Amino acid sequence: MTRLSGQTAIVTGASKGIGKAIATRFAAEGANVVVNSRSAERAETAAEAVESEAAEEAPEQAGAVAGIAADVSDYESVERLVDETVAEFGGLDVMVNNAGITDIQPAEEFDPETWREVIDVDLNGVFFGAQVAGKRMIEQGDGGAILNISSMMGDMGFKMRAPYCAAKGGVNNLTQTLAVEWADDDIAVNALAPGFIYTDITDQTQGSAGYTDEDVRKRTPMARYGSLDEMAECALFLVSRDNYVTGEVLTADGGWTADAWRYWADRGE
């Protein structure tokens, strides 16, 4: 039996990147998975790809996959997402709040609209997803798992990322709070805080922020980017309900946050 056999999971912002990798791994582990995006077309296209890739990886055990559009920053939209998932698969066992955006510019140049947009998706969206899923899991009475995707930037300052860092710091604290509140309901709430993970938008982000692959390699003790498969493996561990883990923020950054000395040493090169 696979680790998520018979369970149903929602992964928000799963049309690409870390979200898509998590959705694929969950489906390969036997879960029925809802792939979410703000666009119905992107959600459905990604769902087809996830189902195909999961079936190729685990042809005898992969779960079913559906695509459902929803805007995580809109509470009623999140409610519809959960309601449609339950209607499709009969319940909800795992919620992964992955959807996120960023904007890169000096702190003094952020306009209020951009600040609110990042906070709305990256913090409010995580709370809305967790709350709606948590209510459903409490009603079902069988417990569940909620995973919030944070960032190592939620635990430190990064230039040009003020709203993103603020939102991810909030996600970390929110994760601990919800874990404590919902422990009696057997709902595990954890967060995954990736470091630099190579995705299809890495090059674009590098250009805006002014760093290179070599900069990341030199600053990271493991001397490389993390992979999407590695993040999916971390996510699978955190939603597996056999590990006595809740209220934790798992930082998967190749040692970046652990290594203070390398930062100061590299500044002189």
Which is catalytic among the residues 164, 211, 225, 263? 164
CA distance 192 to 202: 19
- Here the tokens at position 16 are 């690409």
Cβ(196)–Cβ(220) below 8 Å: yes
First and final C-alpha spacing in the chain: 52
The closest of 189, 199, 107, 106 to 149, measured between CA atoms, is 189
Place of tokens 């955190």: 238
Tell me, yes or no, if 164 is annotated catalytic: yes
CA distance 145 to 168: 19
Which parts of 44-143 are beta strand (E)?
Answer: 65-69, 94-97
| Dihedral-angle region of residue 162 (phi above 0 means left; psi in -120 to 50 means alpha; beta otherwise) | alpha
Instruction: Count CA atoms within 13 Å of residue 49 on its CB side.
Output: 17
Question: How many residues does the structure list for the chain?
Answer: 269
Which residues, 6+ apart, have CB-to-CB distance to 244 below 8 Å? none
Place of tokens 């996830």: 50
Enumerate the active-site residues: 164
